[in-house]
Amino acid sequence: MILATPGPVEIPYFVRETYLRDTIHHRTPEFKEILLDTLNRFKNITKLPYNVFLSSSGTGAMEAAVINTVKNKALTVNAGKFGERWGKICKAHGIEFSEIKYDWDTPALVDDVIAAIKEDDSIDTFFIQISESAGGLRHPVEEIAAEIKLINPDIIVVADGITALGVEDLDTSNIDIVVGGSQKAFMLPPGLSMLGLSDAAVERIGSGRGFYFNLANEIKKQSEGTTAFTPATGLIIALNEVLKKLEDIGLERHYENTAKRHNAMLAAIEAIGLSIFPQNPARSMAAVYSEKAEEIRKILKNKYEINVAGGQDHMKGKLFRINNMGIIEDNKMAYILNSLELALEELGIRKYDATAVKIYSKEK
């Protein structure tokens, strides 16, 4: 079965091989060396001076970012299931927040964010997704962050980069915290989250809040090559290998490959008569609108052994999502797209003529 969901993604063999090694205790010089090396390499991804790993899903890192940074009031952008989550986390902790809400296919507008900040000077932290994977949407985060810093440089900008880190070369010069997750572009099993932090973020965090998710404790401990609590050693060791692999490929080349593959897959999907859902598609996936989304998913899984993700909430049955994160061979993507076209023929939507593969090969 090909796992073509936008997280968890398929785990390459070189990653699986790391789990055949002897287990290393987390309070040893050997693991300290690996942890420090991995944190140092991860800086090339976030381009931020501080980086920490948490043994949790990406949502754990989101929660850590919220409870450790908001002092007065948060402003959140909700354009999907994961943008909505910022508000849910705030509510769970009794943190005051305002929310700017958009349709799932619509990127946030700079003017809307700036207007909200100008109207309420109690806002001290801003939360947004870079890639909102519920609808495959890319927000103009870099532009929004730059404008926020012009208005009030003391506002901490937090970006969920769970389906953006490792996908594209992000400009984090105006972002204070970026969140990542192991099961996306880093091609690992779920269970490890990451945060890149600016000097301003670390200053805001101070002595930190919470117990397990106290970021001040983790920043201090991990800078020394240890952790506040038992870490996910296997995932950190595997991440070390992934980062080395991406460096061997070349990060710039990897990002270019991801972008070219994304453009080619979108062109192929549109060429066989399907519609790309978001107005500004994220490179992490293809989010495709179809009233027969579930029938298409069922055929892909049962006949062609391809598992693609469906829509969520009100988009369930109307959306399916194909992964574009990680290292994906062209022949595998071509097979997925060819199978999609065959599924459309089986449903009587179009006659198969190998258009998807032809367009993908031409554009790639």
Binding-site annotation, residues: 321
- Edge-to-edge strands of the sheet including 156-160? 50-54, 193-197, 177-181, 156-160, 123-129, 73-78, 97-101
Q: How far is CA 86 from the centre of its chain?
A: 15
What token pair was written down for 86?
A: 């910022």
Neighbours of 153 (CB within 10 A): 9
What's phi and psi for 149, nearest 5 deg? -65, -30
Q: Binding site membership for substrate: which residues?
A: 321
H or E element at residue 129: strand 123-129
End-to-end CA, the chain:
24
β-pairing, 285-289 with 319-323? antiparallel
What one-character DSSP code corresponds to residue 174? Answer: T
- Sequence-separated (6 or more) residues with CB below 8 Å from residue 352: 341, 342, 344, 345
Neighbours of 20 (CB within 10 A): 6
Nearest-5° Cα angle at 66, 62 to 158? 70
Rounded CA-CA distance 282/131 in Å is 6
Taking CB atoms within 8 Å and a gap of at least 24, the contacts of 252-260 are 252/169, 254/327, 255/167, 255/168, 255/169, 258/167, 258/168, 258/283, 258/324, 258/325, 259/168, 259/283, 260/363, 260/364
* Radius of gyration for the chain, computed over Cα atoms and rounded to the nearest angstrom: 21
β-pairing, 306-307 with 2-3? parallel
What's phi and psi for 358, nearest 5 deg? -60, -45
Neighbours of 362 (CB within 10 A): 11
SS3 of residue 335 by DSSP: helix
